[in-house]
Amino acid sequence: MKKYKEKFVNVGDADISYEVSNGSNPVVFMHGYGINHTLFNNVRAQLPEEFGSVSIDLRGHGKSTYLKNATDFSLEKCTSDLEKILDAESAENPVIVGHSMGSMIAQNFAARHPTEVKGLVLISGSYNFAESFGSNLISRLALKLSPLRKSLYGSLNAVVGPFVRENNDFFEDFSNQKFRDISNARLFFEMYCKTSPEFVKSIGAVGEAIMEWDTTKIASNISAQTLLIHGEQDKVVNPKTSYELYKMIPNARKPIIVPNTDHNIVLKNPEVVNEYIQRFLQEINLK
């Protein structure tokens, strides 16, 4: 059974939290928007013994420093955070696994260090959220209304949040009953009602920042073998985005489109994600 050690690294304007496990071949995990390093718990637990792991709470998430402004969550700052963590761990030639937002940090790092990345796994990945967000008109409209939505979420947290947090057991049961099969509704409930106002503000800053991210100009600089995985029913990042990444990244493999699953593929189908990642790790380690 793998053992994990919690660590922090100070990067100047933030303390970044991460967990490591021992192994000669490092695999780095970077989560998406509003989640934390535990997104990949089921995946990292299944890694073969020779693979170590580095699971990061991106700035503004988990136990890492919360943000006050969107400028604190630039793609360059997030990439620099990853560089400092890998330096601190003396982790060489990692395989980097990124989900959604984390996939763009993985791309930027791999483009900066084309000879230092063993492989990339981009799950529900994007190259520009403003371009790839959503697969229907409603999703597009939600993006246009994001400033209003951020204000609404902050107000909801301020009004409902204290009552929810003081009656946690009742609302935990309520959440399980009402939102068991509605992942986005449950995520909404957890994120905006049960968490602190500081976290809601931080996540609002993150949401504003990532709409400015773009990796189209640097994708061709990535030389690592790249695995693309996407849920067929993804309504957050259009599945066709993985095909566009396939054309942009020189050594990308044809996307694996997993049927009957959505943007939350890591949570909903961890066994499928595990299978493809482990097969990929075995293949690139034989080269």
Model confidence pLDDT, tens digit, residues 31-90: 999 889 999 999 999 998 899 999 999 999 999 999 888 899 999 999 999 999 999 999
Same domain as 117, residue 174: no
Which two tokens mark 37?
């390093």
pTM listed for this prediction: 0.84
Residue pointed to by tokens 């054309």: 247
Number of domain units in the chain: 2
Rounded Cα gap, residues 153 and 183, in angstroms: 17
Same domain as 232, residue 128: yes
**pLDDT level of residue 145 (50, 70, 90 thresholds):** very low
> Last residue of some domain: 210, 229, 260?
210
Same domain as 53, residue 142: no
Pick from 104, 74, 70, 83: nearest CA to 18: 83
* Domain containing residue 19: 5-134+214-285
* pLDDT at 164 exceeding the cut of 60: no
**CA-CA-CA-CA dihedral for 123, 128, 134, 139, to nearest 10:** 140
Same domain as 232, residue 184: no
Same domain as 112, residue 58: yes
Q: Are 45 and 19 in contact (CB under 8 A)?
A: no
Please give the residue that has the higher pLDDT: either 94 or 129: 94
Same domain as 121, residue 16: yes
> Last residue of some domain: 190, 210, 230?
210
Q: 209: burial class by Cβ within 10 Å (0-12, 13-18, 19+)?
A: buried
> Last residue of some domain: 210, 233, 252?
210
Same domain as 99, residue 234: yes
Q: 37: burial class by Cβ within 10 Å (0-12, 13-18, 19+)?
A: buried
Q: Quick one: pLDDT at residue 163?
A: 46
